[in-house]
Amino acid sequence: GAGVSQSPRYKVAKRGQDVALRCDPISGHVSLFWYQQALGQGPEFLTYFQNEAQLDKSGLPSDRFFAERPEGSVSTLKIQRTQQEDSAVYLCASSLPKRTGLGWARQPQHFGDGTRLSIL
Amino acid sequence: AQSVSQHNHHVILSEAASLELGCNYSYGGTVNLFWYVQYPGQHLQLLLKYFSGDPLVKGIKGFEAEFIKSKFSFNLRKPSVQWSDTAEYFCAVTFHSGGYQKVTFGIGTKLQVIP
């Protein structure tokens, strides 16, 4: 498969449990993004990695949310002590910034199918 | 804060009707603009993008969009819709921030095409 792969597709957890969501980006993609899409809303930015470095985590809603990408490929989004308001689809996207003579050219992001998280 | 507005949340059209979905953003600087489509049960897919150059952008499946800088708009159009265009459409904007593309999405427009 050449696309972004996310697992699991569906996750149901009880309030207070910890969950871990996995993202396999397209091979070779340097940039990796996590988004949260609540019902009836557009995706909202959570965090960004360039290789293994987490350069922006300004969108993480609380300190219960933690993301990592230790080897610069697979990423995991962890949510501790889940709350009902965490119920959403979590999307992962990756892209490969293109180096040009003028600097970095922005490239569109490729999205995975998402993980639908339901907190009971 | 930068924002993206999509004016129509739910649109119902008959096949062969023309489509125009509005998108406006609030930012006076340099932007990159995208339309993504999400078919039922599928992931977000890129429909078209604007980075620079000709403000009239043509995408896949007969879609096009026009960037009007003075109006901060990037409306999506299709002259004749098909039943298979039934999907949710998201306008997205990257506001130039450092060296990467932090994307801000609109709320989405659900398009239902009636055969």
CA triplet A30, A35, A40: central angle to 5 degrees?
Answer: 150
Determine the residue of chain B that is closest to A90 in CA distance: B43
| Nearest-angstrom CA–CA distance, A18 and A86 | 11
pLDDT band at A104 (very low <50, low <70, confident <90, very high): low
CA angle in degrees (0–180, nearest 5) for B34-B86-A1: 65
Is residue B2 very low, low, confident or very high in pLDDT (cuts 50, 70, 90)?
A: confident
Inter-residue contact B72 to B33 (CB < 8 Å): no
pLDDT greater than 60 at residue A103: no
Q: Could B101 and A113 be called an inter-chain contact, meaning their C-beta atoms sit closer than 8 Å?
A: no
Mean residue pLDDT across chain B: 90
The residue-averaged pLDDT of A72-94 equals 96
- Binary contact (A111, B100; C-beta < 8 A): no
Which chain A residues are within 8 Å of B103, Cβ to Cβ? Answer: 33, 35, 43, 45, 109
In this predicted model, what pLDDT tens digit does every residue of A18-27 receive, in sequence order?
999 999 999 9
CB contact under 8 A, A105 and B51: yes
A72: buried, middle or exposed (CB in 10 Å: 19+, 13-18, 0-12)? Answer: middle
B16, B83 contact by CB (below 8 A)? no
Residue A73 structure tokens: 């490929």
For residues B12-28, average pLDDT: 93
pLDDT in tens, B89-100: 999 998 765 556
Is B100 in contact with A91 (Cβ distance < 8 A)?
Answer: no
For residues B111 and B19, the answer to whether their CB atoms sit within 8 Å is yes
Residues B57-85 have pLDDT tens digits of 999 999 999 999 999 999 999 999 999 99
Write the pLDDT tens digit of every residue in A25-80.
999 898 999 999 998 889 999 999 989 999 999 999 999 999 999 999 999 999 99
Average pLDDT over every residue of A76-94 = 96
Residue-level pLDDT at B15: 96
What are the chain B neighbours of A23 within 8 Å (beta carbons)?
A: none
State in Å, rounded, how far the first CA of chain A is from the last one: 33
Closest residue in A to B43 (Cα–Cα): A113
Q: Which residues of A touch B25 (CB under 8 A)?
A: none
State the pLDDT at residue A100. 53
Q: What share of chain B in percent tops pLDDT 70? A: 94
Confidence of residue B32 (pLDDT cuts 50, 70, 90): confident
